[in-house]
């Protein structure tokens, strides 16, 4: 059971702010240490005379908005599902061969592959770690040595294995 504080802000009329004070068992909501929800609205009031006194008779809310601010400490699948109100998908790993590469690649260039979070990248007839370096998280590889003119990278076979975390 959570323990929330609801209080009115003095600076903006018609504004409420909800702050988490303390949770029952000390658990965080989705591993969140700070959670603030600000609800704001504009209102119009009509007035009428009653016994010679002017009083508010009706209240109309003309606009409403809310802002949620949170601090997340772990970007796990479950936390991201909560944050984006979504669900996870399972996508099996696959081997992609023959990915097209730019024609004008030279030493020092960083090439982005079609997929991120790859398990391995193999440029056939080149040595990994010597001729090219791999950044598997972002799906990037960089050529570290100049290539002989006889090697044409766009026609060179390339194998990419995607990695699935789900």
pLDDT, one tens digit per residue, over 91-130 is 676 777 777 777 777 888 888 887 777 777 777 777 878 8
Residue written as token pair 């699935």: 164
Distance, CA of 4 to CA of 15 (rounded, Å): 16
Backbone φ and ψ of 116, nearest 5°: -95, 170
Across 138-151, average pLDDT: 69
pTM: 0.37
Quote the pLDDT of residue 20. 42
């Amino acid at each position: 059971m959570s323990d929330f504080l609801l209080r009115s802000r003095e600076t903006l009329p018609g504004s409420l702010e909800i702050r988490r004070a303390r949770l029952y068992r000390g658990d965080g909501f989705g591993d969140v240490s700070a959670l603030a929800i600000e609800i704001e609205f504009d209102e119009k009031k009509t007035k009428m005379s009653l016994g010679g006194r002017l009083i508010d008779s009706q209240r109309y809310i003309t606009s409403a908005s809310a802002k949620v601010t949170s601090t997340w400490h772990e970007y796990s699948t479950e936390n991201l599902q909560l944050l984006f109100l979504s669900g996870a998908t399972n996508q099996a790993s696959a081997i992609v061969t023959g990915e097209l590469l730019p024609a004008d690649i030279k030493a020092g260039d960083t090439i982005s592959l079609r997929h991120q979070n790859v398990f391995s990248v193999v440029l056939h007839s080149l040595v990994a770690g010597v001729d090219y370096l791999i950044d598997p998280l972002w799906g990037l590889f960089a050529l570290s040595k100049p290539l002989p003119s006889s090697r044409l990278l766009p026609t060179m076979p390339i194998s990419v294995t995607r990695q699935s975390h789900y």
